[in-house]
Chains A and B, each alone.
Chain A
Amino acid sequence: MIESLRTRWIIIIAVIGLALFWVGPNFIDSWPMKNANKVNYGLDIQGGLHLVLGVDSNEVVIEKTARMIRGLSSEFKSDNIDFTDVKAQAGNREVVVVTSQTDKVKDFINRRYPATLQILSTSNGEVVARFADTEIQRYKEQIVEQSIEVIRNRIDEFGVSEPSITAQGDNRIVVQLPGIEDSARAKELINKTAKLNFRPVVQEFHPFAGQRSQELVGWITDAEKAGNYHLGLKATVANTESKGLQYSEYIKKLNADLASKLPRNTRVSFEKSQNAKTIEAGKTAYLLDVDNDLSGGALDDARVNYDEFRNPVVSFQFNLDGRRKFAEMTGGIAEKENGQGYMAIVLDEVVQSAPTVQNEINSDGAQITLGSKGPEAEEEAKLIATTLRAGALPAALTQLEERTVGPSLGADSIRKGKMAGLVGGILVLIFMLLYYKKLGVIANIALSLNILFILALLTSLGATLTLPGVAGIVLTIGMAVDANVIIFERIKEELRKGVGMKTAIKDGFDHAFSAIMDANITTVAVCIVLMYFGTGPIRGFAVTLICGVITSMFTSIFVSRAIIDLLIEKFGMKSIHTVKLASSARGN
């Protein structure tokens, strides 16, 4: 303890000054310091949308494996390594190379992809490898980062002030949008995949121009029958056993079932038939070459326009790289099919259109026609344009948790919470005054300063005040007097023993210290556990409680001691309590 009373008071006054400086902006609008921190209110107080999204990175790892398989085949060829097949296994997460030259393949993989691929086994003319754990981990983190970036872009288009989009672990994203009331629209914007691809149509199977188109239709019907499923959530009348699937699920399952029949690196996608109302009602099958695709990353801009029939269309512009690739791709198609080829524009695995490609197209852009009018189509066009502009999500997102709080509820809660704090505080002050009289005044000064310090500390830390946090502050008001009570009881006890007042005060403070310290350390320990395991609002509670413990140590030990010493030394106070000194302590 610092002995000089003057030094102690200088410290106290400096701390009070600093606290007022920090707290000020919360109460005075025209605070001289611009950009000063204010207490942040959590979403449960200011209202808004809180979403926890799961990132399905498995899907992306599978896609990455498929790409690796395509890459390896061509690399083996150019390296003159003999191989029969490169295929996927174990849920498309492992690469199997069937080869007579296992050692060469092994060498190649170790040389070319030392950190990326991990060889699992080499036997029977097969080399099995998969992505290394560190690589997958890095990749997952990258996907979460990219997703956050994309969501941020989309949210910016939506115009939310101070959105918070953060990663949680390696597969979660927490999105917080203060003040959002139209949660449905915000969710749609976030969840829209909008994966745009340009893919060559496999000519042989073209629904109208291909010789084998009927064969493809037959395969699809057989697969549906064998697997007992169909597109669309309503059960078909003829076959009530059949399971209805949503498009994204349906297309995934169908392609998996047809994998053995379809040519390598192709995929079935559907277009809504011209006279059908929905894709479920009528669909046209296309077989697309996925080896040669151009994705939405090639875009520079996307906007809503109108065609000659006043139907909304989404038109987009390529960036330089996109333009070059688009030219290459269309040139390739034209050359291969002698100017009779087709290219499909695919959005979220649905073929939007499949125009003829007669020669290389060196164009700035292209467009998707929605084929219908009305505000709904317009909304849809806007959504597609926005998501295309903001970039596609690298992985599908699932919504794990949603919490929306309307602004009036939050305002209500904080008003009542403040009131509870005020009433609780005043009652505690009165209680202390009645019980401890003079000492009570000192404890009350300490308590009032404590509240000021908590608020100052929270503000300066930029902590977020949540409703449980408010509860934490009110609870601290009740608990903070504890240290003072321990000290005062101790002083009274010392006085009863008949020692002088100065000694009693000194011993009282000294003896109380270890009890106060131990009790507070355990409270802090529990708070740390809460911060680690708790969700947002609960963390807010733990933070306020920790702040409360720290400030109450300072006020009840340091400040109240300084007040008592000041009163005795400078103002000649003789007794600090109504306890009768010395005389009563001689009972023994």
Chain B
Amino acid sequence: MSKNKNDKYSAKTTAAKTSGNKEGINIDFLSKANIFAGVSILLVLVSLVLIFSKGLNYGIDFAGGTEVQVLFDKSVSTDDVRSFTKNLGYDSASVQSFGEGNQEYLIRMESIQAATDKETNKLINALIAKITTGLKATFATSGPEIRRVDSVGPQVGDELKTNGLLAIFYSLVLILIYIGLRFDYKFAPAAVFCLFHDTIITLGIYALLQKEVNVQTLAAILTIIGYSLNDTIVTFDRIRENSGSILFRGWAFDDLVNRSLNDVLTRTILTSLTTLIAVAAMYFIAGGVIKDFAFTLAIGVIVGTYSSIYIASPLVILIDRWEASKAPAA
């Protein structure tokens, strides 16, 4: 079906394109492909090393545990909150201040696992009660307000983690199938490789900064996968269209790809800019969940834009060459 449509397009455009298409931006992206390939491979490797050496800082969504967010109406020192958790007997609790003026704290406790689920329940409930009533009593003069309590049992954490990985996996498979069907099969591996590239580098940055990885991070990564794919697809769409066009008959595939990249460059940059504007607004204005979301998206937009320009298309050429070298032998 798509073939027919393409033929119709080229028939129509032939009439229109009387004077060739050399106008506009013309950057030779592919001559530098080796350098960028090197950079990307390095980044991916470094990210992998970081992910496996430093590890990801899983939030309670994945690791299980309890988190209490408290807001005081006046400034309270981190040490006071620390000694409070220590006095309650939770030495391993992490206390983290956020927002301005040392007024808001996040207290995080590791997952509890008793012999039976019922006991685990009781212990967790007792823990929550102890922390919340304790905060209200100890800091009575500082007007504590319990703003949020999250508690995730260990089973659920494991399940969320598995589901998260499955979600990423299925997204990639769906995309692979769709691109394979809609475009040429040589485009599909390039697109999916890019998505791996973007995901791994984003996770690498998370490992480097030891930022918390939670369910929102995962959703943001999946969004990046979708977004980065937009860019890649727009480029592929243009390559496909140009290869069918009579104007480019006789062009080497490399040149064709480079031309196509240039054709869509303005669009790629403009859309990335508007998206970044929206993401920046989220990062600087909205707090909490949305801020973390925006952080991941910002990394993803930048890495995704880069990869769709410098990685996806050269990969298509590489696959094309490999195919050509195999063809005579077959």
B215, A535: Cβ atoms closer than 8 Å: yes
- B residues near A533, Cβ cutoff 8 Å: 163-164, 166-167, 170
Given the complex of chains A and B, what is the CA–CA distance between A400 and B158 in angstroms? 12
CB distance from B293 to the nearest CB of A (A): 5
- A residues near B279, Cβ cutoff 8 Å: 424, 474-475, 478
Given the complex of chains A and B, what is the CA–CA distance between A185 and B16 in angstroms? 74
- B residues near A408, Cβ cutoff 8 Å: 71, 145, 147
A479, B290: Cβ atoms closer than 8 Å: no
Is B13 an interface residue, CB under 8 A from the partner? yes
- B residues near A405, Cβ cutoff 8 Å: 147-148
B148, A529: Cβ atoms closer than 8 Å: no
* A409-B69, A534-B167 known; A498 vs B156 contact (CB < 8 Å): no
B125, A479: Cβ atoms closer than 8 Å: no
A474, B22: Cβ atoms closer than 8 Å: no
- A residues near B2, Cβ cutoff 8 Å: 514
Is A412 an interface residue, CB under 8 A from the partner? yes
Say which size band chain B's interface belongs to: 35 or more
* A428-B277, A470-B286 known; A402 vs B155 contact (CB < 8 Å): no
A588, B22: Cβ atoms closer than 8 Å: yes
Within 8 A of B (CB), among A364-416: 396, 398-406, 408-409, 412-413, 416
Given the complex of chains A and B, what is the CA–CA distance between A183 and B287 in angstroms? 25
B216, A468: Cβ atoms closer than 8 Å: yes
Binds A, one of B50-58, B81-89, B268-276: B268-276
Is A150 an interface residue, CB under 8 A from the partner? no
- A residues near B151, Cβ cutoff 8 Å: 401-403
Given the complex of chains A and B, what is the CA–CA distance between A406 and B147 in angstroms? 4
A246, B122: Cβ atoms closer than 8 Å: yes
Given the complex of chains A and B, what is the CA–CA distance between A56 and B120 in angstroms? 14
Q: Is the interface of B mostly helix, strand, loop or mixed?
A: helix
* A406-B145, A533-B166 known; A522 vs B229 contact (CB < 8 Å): yes
Binds A, one of B29-37, B198-206, B217-225, B313-321: B217-225
Is A248 an interface residue, CB under 8 A from the partner? yes
* A405-B147, A413-B286, A535-B215 known; A478 vs B230 contact (CB < 8 Å): no
Is A349 an interface residue, CB under 8 A from the partner? no
Within 8 A of B (CB), among A45-76: 52, 54, 56
Residue of B nearest to A525 (CB): B174
CB distance from B172 to the nearest CB of A (A): 9
Is B288 an interface residue, CB under 8 A from the partner? yes
Is A577 an interface residue, CB under 8 A from the partner? no
Is A438 an interface residue, CB under 8 A from the partner? no
Given the complex of chains A and B, what is the CA–CA distance between A424 and B129 in angstroms? 40
B107-151 interface mask toward A, CB cutoff 8 Å, 1 = contact, 0 = none?
Answer: 000000000111111101100110000000000000001111111
- A residues near B241, Cβ cutoff 8 Å: 511, 514
Given the complex of chains A and B, what is the CA–CA distance between A477 and B271 in angstroms? 11
Given the complex of chains A and B, what is the CA–CA distance between A588 and B275 in angstroms? 35
B155-189 interface mask toward A, CB cutoff 8 Å, 1 = contact, 0 = none?
Answer: 11000100110110011001100110010000000
A402, B150: Cβ atoms closer than 8 Å: yes
Is A15 an interface residue, CB under 8 A from the partner? no
B271, A518: Cβ atoms closer than 8 Å: no
* A518-B233, A523-B230, A526-B225 known; A401 vs B153 contact (CB < 8 Å): yes
Given the complex of chains A and B, what is the CA–CA distance between A432 and B237 in angstroms? 24
A529, B170: Cβ atoms closer than 8 Å: yes
B148, A398: Cβ atoms closer than 8 Å: no
Within 8 A of B (CB), among A497-552: 497-499, 503, 507, 510-511, 514-515, 518-519, 521-523, 525-527, 529-530, 532-535, 537-538, 541-542, 545
Given the complex of chains A and B, what is the CA–CA distance between A56 and B121 in angstroms? 13
* A420-B282, A475-B279 known; A403 vs B150 contact (CB < 8 Å): yes
Given the complex of chains A and B, what is the CA–CA distance between A416 and B222 in angstroms? 24
Given the complex of chains A and B, what is the CA–CA distance between A532 and B276 in angstroms? 28
* A489-B266, A541-B219 known; A515 vs B19 contact (CB < 8 Å): no
CB distance from A512 to the nearest CB of B (A): 9
- A residues near B249, Cβ cutoff 8 Å: none
Residue of B117, B234, B266, B278 touching A54 (CB-CB under 8 A): B117
Residue of A424, A489, A518, A535 touching B182 (CB-CB under 8 A): A518
A399, B124: Cβ atoms closer than 8 Å: yes
A475, B297: Cβ atoms closer than 8 Å: yes
A420, B271: Cβ atoms closer than 8 Å: no
Given the complex of chains A and B, what is the CA–CA distance between A482 and B229 in angstroms? 13
Between B71, B148, B160, B216, the greatest number of chain A beta carbons within 10 A of the residue's beta carbon is seen for B148
B263, A493: Cβ atoms closer than 8 Å: yes
A522, B226: Cβ atoms closer than 8 Å: yes
Between A486, A496, A537, the greatest number of chain B beta carbons within 10 A of the residue's beta carbon is seen for A486
CB distance from A436 to the nearest CB of B (A): 9
Known: A478-B276, A479-B271, A533-B167. 9 other contacts (CB 8 A): A246-B122, A413-B288, A467-B288, A499-B16, A511-B9, A514-B2, A523-B229, A533-B166, A541-B223
Between A and B, 6 residue pairs with Cβ closer than 8 Å are: A406-B148, A420-B281, A468-B216, A515-B237, A522-B179, A535-B160
- List of 10 A-B pairs having minimum Cβ-Cβ separation, nearest first: A478-B278, A424-B281, A478-B275, A533-B167, A526-B226, A420-B286, A409-B147, A420-B285, A424-B278, A398-B117
